[in-house]
């Protein structure tokens, strides 16, 4: 039985939504954060959790002071394209070194389960829906560091009594997200701003955060099965372009977004198409997205409208 969970990345977008659900499920949750972490997403939940600042208290203390049953690792250092030696050091230090220390401490403290977070950025982009066994070709250094740690997790699961599940997330979106493209479009619509945009042809598997969180809960339940390592793609099995997203938001709001498609060039290494094959997750985890793009964007739009 999984009672006490060590959660990294709890102050982030997906992590904050997952923390809420774990507490509602009556798990005891220990969170690992930095003393400088912005707590706005989880302020209301802080009285219900035990919290450790990794930069002040180290990474071992939570394992010493608590009987951890499972580590859920969402914490990450993300830079889209590294520019400096410091970018490299921070990416490798947290995404590989610190993550490996988590796995080592889990083993040394008899933790049985490790639930890791990966990204579709780890894969080579294909025209067909991407399956778990498809070729890897990391999009950036961040993705390469995720691939590296996943290989390390395979070592731990093969050599120690540590069951590992790796969830590769496809384009999460929702309330409390960072200022990514869908947040930008919604805020521009609400504020009546004119938007100069790229062509809007990028087609991704936008996956609503509540569906993402449900996949983590399904994965926790799956640990009762007999296995050592599994990887699952978590995403919608259909794609939508950014121009379609604008049309849906206009339908939801009853407003027209003053947007000039094609006014800006596409960014470096633009990903124009990515499609998720979620058959394995559907079959083995019983993962079934409950929100299509319109229902997810509607909840997201009204969150920001009333924020």
- SS3 labels along 250-276: HHHHCCCCCEECCCCCCCCCCCCECCE
Q: What average pLDDT score do residues 255-280 get? A: 94
Residues 12-25 have a mean pLDDT of: 98
How many CB atoms are closer than 10 A to CB 172? 21
State whether residue 163 is helix, strand or coil: strand
Longest CA pairwise span in the chain (Å): 57
Distances 259 to 32, 106, 303 between C-alpha atoms, Å = 41, 50, 22
Query: Has residue 1 got a pLDDT over 90?
Result: no
Which percentage of the chain shows pLDDT scores above 90?
96
Q: Which domains does the chain have, with CATH numbers?
A: 4-172+206-234 (3.40.50.720), 174-205+238-276+291-305 (3.90.25.10)
Q: What is the pLDDT of residue 68?
A: 98
Question: 4-41 as b/e, with b when 16 or more CB fall inside 10 Å?
Answer: bbbbbbbbbbbbbbbbbebeeeebbbbbbbeeebeeeb
The encoded tokens of residue 74 equal 């969402």
Question: Which residue's structure tokens are 């933790």?
Answer: 111
Contacts of 115 by beta carbon, 8 Å cutoff, 6+ apart: 70, 71, 72, 73, 164, 165, 167, 216, 219, 220, 223
What dihedral angle (degrees, nearest 10) is formed by the CA atoms of 293, 295, 297, 302? Answer: 180
**Digit-coded pLDDT (tens) for 47-58:** 999 999 999 999
**Is residue 172 within 8 Å of residue 300, measured between CB atoms?**
no
Residue 81 has pLDDT above 90, yes or no: no
User: What is residue 236's predicted lDDT score, i.e. its pLDDT?
Assistant: 95
pLDDT tens profile 22-36? 999 999 999 999 999
Cβ atoms of residues 30 and 52 within 8 Å:
yes
Q: What is d(CA 53, CA 56) in angstroms, rounded to the nearest whole number?
A: 5
pLDDT band at 267 (very low <50, low <70, confident <90, very high): confident
pLDDT at 127: 87
Q: With contact defined as beta carbons under 8 Å apart, do 22 and 42 qualify? A: no
- Give the model's pLDDT for residue 262: 93
| Interval 199-242: pLDDT, tens | 999 999 999 999 999 999 999 999 999 999 999 999 998 999 99
| Per-residue pLDDT, 151 | 98
What pairing do the DSSP bridges indicate for beta strands 259-260 and 195-196?
Answer: parallel
Give yes or no for residue 160 having a pLDDT over 90: yes
Of the pLDDT bands very low, low, confident and very high (cuts 50, 70, 90), residue 94 is very high
Burial zone of 267 (CB within 10 Å; 0-12 exposed, 13-18 middle, 19+ buried): exposed
Tally the C-alpha atoms within 13 A of residue 271's C-alpha that lie toward its C-beta. 21
What is the Cα–Cα distance from 71 to 106, expressed in whole angstroms? 8
Cβ-count burial of 136 within 10 angstroms (0-12 exposed, 13-18 middle, 19+ buried)?
middle
- 138: pLDDT strictly greater than 90: yes
Confidence of residue 78 (pLDDT cuts 50, 70, 90): confident
Report how far apart, in Å, the C-alpha atoms of 106 and of each of 32, 109, 153, 200, 234 are. Answer: 14, 5, 11, 44, 25
């Amino acid at each position: 039985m999984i009672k006490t969970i060590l959660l990294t990345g709890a102050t982030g977008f997906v992590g904050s939504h997952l923390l809420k659900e774990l507490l509602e499920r009556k798990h005891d949750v220990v969170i690992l954060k930095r003393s400088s972490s912005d707590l706005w997403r989880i302020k209301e939940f802080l009285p219900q959790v035990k919290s450790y600042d990794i930069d002040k208290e180290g990474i071992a203390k939570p394992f010493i002071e608590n009987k951890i049953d499972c580590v859920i690792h969402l914490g990450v250092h993300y830079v889209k394209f590294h520019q400096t030696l410091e970018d490299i050091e921070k990416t490798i230090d947290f995404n590989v070194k610190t993550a490996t220390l988590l796995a080592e401490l889990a083993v040394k403290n008899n933790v049985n389960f490790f639930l890791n977070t990966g990204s579709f950025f780890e894969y080579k982009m294909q025209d067909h829906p991407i399956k778990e066994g498809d070729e890897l070709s990391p999009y950036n250094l961040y993705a390469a560091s995720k691939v590296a740690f996943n290989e390390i997790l395979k070592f731990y699961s093969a050599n120690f009594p540590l069951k590992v599940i790796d969830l590769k997330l496809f384009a999460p979106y929702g309330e409390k997200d960072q200022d990514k493209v869908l947040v930008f479009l919604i805020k521009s619509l609400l504020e009546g701003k004119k938007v100069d945009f790229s062509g809007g042809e990028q087609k991704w598997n936008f996956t609503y955060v509540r569906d993402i969180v449900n996949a983590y809960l399904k994965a926790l339940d799956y640990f009762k099965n007999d296995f050592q390592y599994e990887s699952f793609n978590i995403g919608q099995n259909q794609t939508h372009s950014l121009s379609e997203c604008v049309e849906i938001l206009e339908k939801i709001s009853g407003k027209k977004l003053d947007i000039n498609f094609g006014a800006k060039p596409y960014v470096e290494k633009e990903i124009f198409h990515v499609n998720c094959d979620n058959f394995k997750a559907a079959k083995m985890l019983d993962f079934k997205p409950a929100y299509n793009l319109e229902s997810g964007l509607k909840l997201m739009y009204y969150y920001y409208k009333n924020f």
